[in-house]
């Protein structure tokens, strides 16, 4: 059963957005606390970030937004494609126009990574629709720009130049 009433739905969507941002913010805070030598503060941030994830997930499900894997992949494709075709090009132009170098850098990084994400989701959707899982051993993410590589990381990130050793591995 999903939420039907307009006002409640809007409030749950706002709550989902807020909980999602809190989740990410606390993970970022945890990383900073770890760098500054506060492992237990980092642990606390990560634990509460997980609680915020639980809240966001509950709202997401109540809103009826969780589908089967093919629909979820299409949602991923749609989101990544929007970011590539519309959102980040505009954000990048505005940052360039206003001389905001840091914003220009971060939007460029995101735009380049999102292109790869859309392709990966497309490939995964094709496989899932034929009843098969994707064939990947590892996924490598550049911690500087988000560039994504499957099965093998490049020697240097083609977007920002970070060395292979810095990539975060998901296996």
Token duo for residue 62: 């109540």
Residue holding tokens 């945890």? Answer: 30
| pLDDT reading at 127 higher than 80 | yes
Q: Rounded to whole angstroms, how far apart are CA atoms 157 and 82? A: 24
Mean pLDDT on 125-138: 97
Domain ranges of the chain: 6-62, 69-135, 136-171
**Rounded to whole angstroms, how far apart are CA atoms 60 and 54?**
10
Q: What is the pLDDT of residues 38-55, one digit of tens each?
A: 999 999 999 999 999 999
Task: For the chain, give the percent of residues with pLDDT over 70.
Answer: 99
CATH topology of domain 136-171: Rubrerythrin, domain 2 (2.20.28)
Go through the chain and tell me how many residues it has: 171
Q: Token pair of 13, please? A: 């969507």
pLDDT band at 2 (very low <50, low <70, confident <90, very high): confident
CATH code of the region 6-62: 1.20.1260.10
**Residue 130's pLDDT band (cuts 50, 70, 90):** very high
Q: 105: closest CA among 155, 146, 154? A: 146
8 Å CB contact between 134 and 107: no
Q: Is 119 helix (H, G, I), strand (E, B) or coil?
A: helix
Q: How much is the pTM?
A: 0.90
Q: Please indicate whether the domains covering 6-62 and 69-135 agree at the CATH topology level.
A: yes
Residue 109 contacts residue 101 (beta carbons within 8 Å): no
Nearest C-alpha neighbor of 52 from the set 78, 82, 26, 91: 26
Architecture of domain 69-135: Up-down Bundle (1.20)
């Amino acid at each position: 059963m999903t939420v039907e009433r307009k006002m409640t739905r809007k409030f749950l969507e706002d709550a989902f957005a807020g909980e999602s941002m809190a989740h990410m913010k606390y993970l970022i805070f945890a990383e900073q606390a770890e760098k500054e030598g506060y492992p237990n503060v980092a642990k606390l941030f990560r634990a509460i970030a997980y609680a915020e994830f639980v809240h966001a997930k509950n709202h997401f499900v109540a809103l009826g937004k969780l589908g089967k894997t093919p629909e979820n992949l299409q949602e991923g494709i749609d989101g990544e494609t929007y970011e590539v075709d519309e959102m980040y090009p505009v954000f990048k132009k505005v940052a360039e126009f206003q001389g905001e170098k840091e914003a220009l850098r971060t939007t460029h990084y995101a735009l380049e990574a999102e292109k790869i994400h859309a392709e990966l989701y497309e490939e995964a959707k094709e496989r899932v629709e034929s009843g098969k899982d994707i064939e990947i051993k590892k996924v490598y993410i550049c911690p500087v720009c988000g560039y994504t590589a499957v099965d093998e990381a490049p020697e240097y990130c083609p977007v920002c130049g970070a060395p292979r050793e810095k990539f975060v591995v998901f296996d």
